[in-house]
Amino acid sequence: MVNVAVTGGGGFIGRFLVGRLVEKGYTVLSLDLSPSPFKPNPRIIHHRVDITHTLALNKLLAKYKPEAVVHLAALLADACEQDPVRAFKVNLEATQNLIELSITHGVNRFVFISSAGVYNPNTPEPVIEEYGGRPVLSYYGVTKYVGELIGLWYASKGLIDFRALRPTVVFGPGRFRGPSAEYSSLIIEKALKGEKVVIKNPDDRVNYIYVKDTAEALLTLLEAPQAPSRVYNAAGFVCKVIEFVELVKKFIPTLQYEIVPQPAVRYPAVVDDSKIRNELGWSPKYLYEKAIEDYIETATKGHPLFDIY
């Protein structure tokens, strides 16, 4: 019996979440466009499927009957800006269809990954959940904010238990895409390969959250008997990009970098995640050096349940 279906299960955050679910004894249906990154495991069922193919999703949910769905599949920021019509189809239409299918097949709980991209970069800090959508400047942020509203509407009608997580800048082994990757994960990836790092925004303050903390926040949201606020921020640690580089340099002294000032995609740095801490008991465990150390160890030694690269 499948306990949880994870869309985008083979993606960057998805594989860490699937791995964590399996560690806790769940059987997981992973749905992704990509081939399976997972090592053979009876608790992981991976199907290649396009999230916009409603008939295919309908068949899979009918067959495996998951008790809960965690919806991670989406186009990222750059792709949304380049093709907003496709972004609407993937990030919004597919989300609504998946909620409808979940209701049809008796899914009890629907967890949606949103983003700190729902906040305007000039939002007053500390940023609380109520500041979302005032106004959103990226089309990716628009799709995430409207995705929340769609889910909350269904929850308001008592049709499904919808919950959403707004993580800050997620980094970890295996993240190569998205505009914030170049001032987070790609710094470490290039340093590990001995490549020079180009820093465009050294003095920007960033709220970094490690991928394992993000997966744990999603798991917490999934397992909580009640989630009174439904939509939750999840934050990590704040530092300037150049300070992040210096943190990495502590572990990889050979890191070389060059500063070439250019505008970069910005998100609010000081994010209030007291709701998820107080209501659900989650807090980040991988901060500053601990996050960098675990990143390097995981990237070099690998993960027991899936391939990182």
**Percentage of the chain with pLDDT > 70?**
100
Per-residue confidence (pLDDT) for residue 213, from 0 to 100:
99
Let me know if residue 200 belongs to a domain.
Answer: no
Amino acid at 120: N
Per-residue confidence (pLDDT) for residue 267, from 0 to 100:
86
Residues sharing a CB contact under 8 Å with residue 70, sequence separation 6 or more, in sequence order: 4, 5, 6, 7, 17, 111, 113, 218, 222
**Cα gap 169→201, rounded to integer Å:** 15
| Domain CATH code at residue 40 | 3.40.50.720
Q: Is the pLDDT of residue 1 over 80?
A: no
Greater model confidence, 200 or 137 = 200
Confidence at 135, pLDDT banded by 50, 70, 90: confident
Per-residue confidence (pLDDT) for residue 137, from 0 to 100:
84
Q: Do the beta carbons of residue 270 and residue 127 sit within 8 Å?
A: yes
Strands 205-210 and 237-240, bridge-based pairing: antiparallel
Model pTM score: 0.97
Q: Do the beta carbons of residue 247 and residue 52 sit within 8 Å?
A: no
| 9-23, 39-53, 238-252, 258-272: segment of lowest average pLDDT | 258-272
Per-residue confidence (pLDDT) for residue 295, from 0 to 100:
98
Let me know if residue 110 belongs to a domain.
Answer: yes
Let me know if residue 166 belongs to a domain.
Answer: yes
Owning domain of residue 122: 4-170+209-235+268-285
Let me know if residue 84 belongs to a domain.
Answer: yes
Confidence at 177, pLDDT banded by 50, 70, 90: confident
The total number of structural domains that make up the chain? 1
Let me know if residue 296 belongs to a domain.
Answer: no
Per-residue confidence (pLDDT) for residue 265, from 0 to 100:
77
CA-closest candidate to residue 118, choices 102, 105, 106, 136? 136
Q: Which two tokens stand for residue 14?
A: 């998805």
Let me know if residue 13 belongs to a domain.
Answer: yes
Per-residue confidence (pLDDT) for residue 2, from 0 to 100:
85
Residue burial 4-41, b: 16+ Cβ < 10 Å; e: rest: bbbbbbbbbbbbbbbbbbbeeebbbbbbbeeebbbeeb
SS3 50: coil
Per-residue confidence (pLDDT) for residue 72, from 0 to 100:
99
Half-sphere CA count of 118, side-chain side, radius 13 A: 26
Let me know if residue 306 belongs to a domain.
Answer: no
For the segment 297-303, the average pLDDT, to the nearest whole number, is: 97
Residues sharing a CB contact under 8 Å with residue 186, sequence separation 6 or more, in sequence order: 175, 176, 197
Let me know if residue 41 belongs to a domain.
Answer: yes
Q: Is the pLDDT of residue 71 over 80?
A: yes
pLDDT digits (tens, 9 = 90+) for 160-172: 999 999 999 999 9
Per-residue confidence (pLDDT) for residue 178, from 0 to 100:
85
CA-closest candidate to residue 79, choices 185, 11, 179, 201? 179
